[in-house]
Amino acid sequence: MRFKRAVPLLAALFFATVRASASLAGAVTDYRLDNGLQIVVIEDHRAPVVVQMLWYRAGAADEPPGKSGIAHFFEHLMFKATDDMEAGEFSEAVAANGGSDNAFTSQDYTAYYQRIAADRLELVMRMEADRMRDLLLTSDDIATEREVILEERAQRTDTDPGALAGEQMMATLYMNHPYRIPVIGWRHEVERLGREDALAFYRRYYAPDNAVLVVAGDVVPEEVLELARKYYGPLPPTGGLKARIRPSEPPHLAPRRLTFTDPRVSQPYIRRLYLAPERNHGAQKEAAALTYLAEILGGTGATSVLGRALQFDRQIAVYADAGYSAISLDPDTFGLIVVPVPGVSLQEAEEALDATIARFLQEGVDQDQFDRIRMQIRASEIYALDDVQGIARRYGAALTSGLTIEDVQDWPEVLQSVTPQEVVAAARRLFDANRSVTGWVMPAGEGDSAEVAR
């Protein structure tokens, strides 16, 4: 039950990005059932294991106004009773058969998966199909799970100043698009979510015509299709689903800033977010260039631009990184973070950050560094082929974020085709201060803050 956006501080510091990709051509078959269910089968016979992932094209950014958190709330509710199963029976059955299961919610999708012995695929498919439309929800279920989720929010967000600051920054950066709202939901809205809200979300979005089934592992496509027809085939589509067109951003005409002060902050830092384009169907080059940019600016080691300038050459920062995820349905963010060394003010650190970026835009990419990164990307793509679940996840995320199987398969090649000049050109388009928010996160009483924001 992971969040794409409710990032705790450490993850924020390390920017869990999708920095690598694999050459995934071949052994992928896809179908569509009459009821609209898209099915992707990825054959991999190295181990007698199968992963079933069911992806719904419904995430936090698809929630009705004022109902934030309902997508993630529903992810929890999917483990309650159906007409055929007791609450909790799903996961117990998976575990009793030696498997594991879980689920996760992002802004753009909600996904459920099980990893189990290949000969138990029918079991998990029967159960997954059962809960797609036949969940029984009692008011007790809602009340209990709401408490669980509020506790989850307390632990992941409300007690974590970095996560809280991140929420405020996203809500400041986005003026119109629902990415401004955290996946876990605003606490005051989660507290009021009820059974009707849950059922409305379920009936609208949990249906075969709004889902992608990804089955990866030691399976034969024909058998998967036969099982899918048997279990998912009879489920009625929800029908009338509109295109996922969300409110989009108006022009951003002014750089924005915030100062987040919290005594629990142990080390002050600067975080900056820019609105950034994402991978789009048939147009992935800009996102590929930004994927390089994140590696060039913030990648590990003394060779990254920020690392070299701020950590090694001038010893201004103890940590500097850049982050970009590339996959989302709508324009996402490109992030920078700098944690200054004690004695260096946030003001000084920010000036050094900006000077470093300005110099990078002027001097361009170091060809040796670029070649190294291109090689690393190629290597990590090949390495990624070893992880069946990771591959399944890659297809599921892409297909619920506006991309196609072809886009997934093209991506490694698009990445390899990027030139240093394209990276700099993408960086110039990206680093528009008007489309940014800068956050200073610091303990109470930091002298820096007084000058800039009272």
Residues that bind a second copy (CB under 8 A): 65-66, 68, 164-165, 167-168, 171-172, 175-176, 178, 180-181, 186-189, 245-248, 250-262, 354, 433, 438-439, 452-454
Residue type, 283: A
Asked if 47 contacts 217 with a C-beta cutoff of 8 angstroms, the reply is yes
The closest alpha carbon to 77, from 6, 140, 153, belongs to 140
Q: Closest approach of Cβ 331 to a second copy, in Å?
A: 13
Q: Based on CB atoms, which residue is closest to a second copy, 315 or 434?
A: 434
Q: Based on CB atoms, which residue is closest to a second copy, 234 or 255?
A: 255
Q: Which residue has the tokens 């830092």?
A: 269
The Cα 267–Cα 227 span in angstroms is 54
Q: Closest approach of Cβ 159 to a second copy, in Å?
A: 13
Q: In the structure encoding, which two tokens stand for residue 287, read together?
A: 């996102």
Q: In the structure encoding, which two tokens stand for residue 170, read together?
A: 């996203």
Neighbours of 280 (CB within 10 A): 17
Q: Based on CB atoms, which residue is closest to a second copy, 141 or 167?
A: 167
Which is catalytic among the residues 75, 145, 167, 350? 75
Q: Closest approach of Cβ 188 to a second copy, in Å?
A: 6
Question: Alpha helices of 68-120 — where are they, by DSSP H?
Answer: 70-77, 89-96
The Cα 106–Cα 108 span in angstroms is 5
- Specify the length of the chain in residues: 454
Strands 211-217 and 317-324: unpaired
DSSP lists the bridge partners of residue 261 as: 442
Burial class (CB in 10 A: 0-12, 13-18, 19+), 307: buried
Q: Is 75 a catalytic residue?
A: yes
H or E, element range at 272: strand 269-276
Q: Closest approach of Cβ 33 to a second copy, in Å?
A: 31
Q: Closest approach of Cβ 92 to a second copy, in Å?
A: 37
Active site residues: 75
